[in-house]
Structure 1
Amino acid sequence: MSTTPALDPAHTALLVLDCQPAVLAALPGDGAREALLDRVEEAVAAVRAAGGTVAHVRVGFTEDDWAAVPDANTSFGPVARYRALHHEDPATAVHERLAPRDGDIVVRKTRFGGLSTTDLDRRLRERGITTLVVAGVSTGGAVLSTVVDAADRDYRLHVLSDGVADPDAEVHDLLLRRVLPSRAGILDTAELRALLRAA
């Protein structure tokens, strides 16, 4: 039996990070991508059914965004140089299986973390959100950065263990086992559904 406190949907948001065709393409194998989308889709449905908030965070750049990235940024400098991930490119849209609905939050970011270059924190707090469940791609990029930042902002945090993925399986496993648990609870989609029902 889980000792994790129930999740109050009124104060809970599921963050769906970088579930965009351009980012999902980095995961090895079509099967892994489809399996991840299955589980995230299931989590989105559970949170919506319980009356919680779904927030979609996608990465995408305008011309001005590219121009503002310094060459010293080893992660995003190449993105800017090659004019990758344009915000209007269909490959940077939220994956069609997870398409936002009325009432969802949708933000566009230009760095790894979901909070640092967006107004997501403000929009969550305006809705009274105090608990975040983090899903998406990648465990070592957007997920890690968002969890660290959100912990510093005093959110109660959970990472959806079967709803996150990384191109590097070893990094993914290490983060889930050794790093993320110091800042967030680790639960899977079945536990998420149970905790939402228990509220």
Structure 2
Amino acid sequence: MLNQSSHTALLLMDVQNAITSRFAELSEALVPFQKALETARRNGIPVIFVRLAFRDGHPEISPRNKSFSRISESGLGAMSPTDAAAQIHSSLEPMPGEPIVTKLRVSAFAGSDLEVILRSRQINTLVLGGIATSGVVLSTLREAADKDFALTVLSDACLDADPEVHRVLIEKVFPRQADVMTAAAWAETLD
């Protein structure tokens, strides 16, 4: 099993303070993320954290971009890589050597060096968890599938503000391009 996992990486996406703070019952909601993180580390699977951050003044954000132009208006803070808002939630603290990739759009690949990191490590299988299911998880899954990565989505290590959208994506859309399972079920495949 370790041979297969040597080409697998766990991507935990947008689990940063500005985004996690939008969810009530956060400590309970992050338990599957913590389970996935523990599973990956226990099995020697590389973990890569992905976050959204911009330069001071947000020069990367076009006023025509409906989603991102709201950032400066939304009170999410400066969202620079050093701001507290852009830091990974403390319950999912990255360990030394676990990359934190900074992206500039919804997909984990957009404006980041994620693909360079994955290719340099000969990663061909991605296990995805993130916030939001309809945002970073959907966009990253689609782009990763187009780049021919094998994919697994951890259904309970994905959160979305709209439970119905989450359900439809997990049950009907994602299975077309990925294996979908819980963090506990994924752990069982490795143990």
Name the TM-score, length of structure 1 as normaliser: 0.89
What is the total number of aligned residue pairs between the two structures?
A: 189
Out of 116, 121, 124, the residue aligned to residue 127 of structure 1 is 121
Deviation at 1:84, TM superposition (A): 4.2
| Contact 1:7–1:196 (Cα < 8 Å) also in 2 | no
Once residues 63 and 100 of structure 1 are traced to their aligned partners in structure 2, the CA distance between those partners, rounded to angstroms, is 24
What is the alpha-carbon root mean square deviation over aligned residues?
Answer: 1.8
Q: Is 1:49 paired with 2:51?
A: no
How far off its partner does 1:7 sit? Answer: 8.2
Gaps in structure 2 of 5+ consecutive residues: none
When normalised by structure 2's length, the TM-score is: 0.92
Deviates more, 1:186-195 or 1:83-92: 83-92
Which of 56, 59, 69 aligns to 1:63? It is 56
Bigger RCO (CA 8 Å, 6+ sep): 1
Q: Secondary structure at the match of 1:63?
A: coil
Per-residue Cα deviation, 1:93-138 (whole angstroms, up to 9, x for no partner): 0011111112312111111111121111110111111110000100
Question: Is 2:33 the counterpart of 1:40?
Answer: yes
For the pair 1:174 / 2:141, whether they are aligned, the reply is no
CA deviation after TM superposition for structure 1 residue 62, in Å = 0.8
CA distance in 1, matches of 2:78, 2:97: 30
Amino acid at match of 1:69: I
- List alignment gaps of at least 5 residues for structure 1: none
Give the Cα–Cα distance (whole angstroms) in 2 for the partners of residues 68 and 144 of structure 1: 22
Aligned match of 1:8: 4
- Counterpart Cα distance in 2 of 1:187 and 1:18: 20
Aligned equivalent of 1:74: 66
Cα distance in structure 1, aligned partners of 2:44 and 2:125: 14
Q: Contact 1:132–1:155 (CA<8 Å) still a contact in 2?
A: yes
Q: Post-superposition shift, 1:77?
A: 1.3
1:24 alignment counterpart: 20
- Cα distance in 1 for partners of 2:170, 2:3 equals 21
What is the aligned partner in structure 2 of residue 152 from structure 1?
146
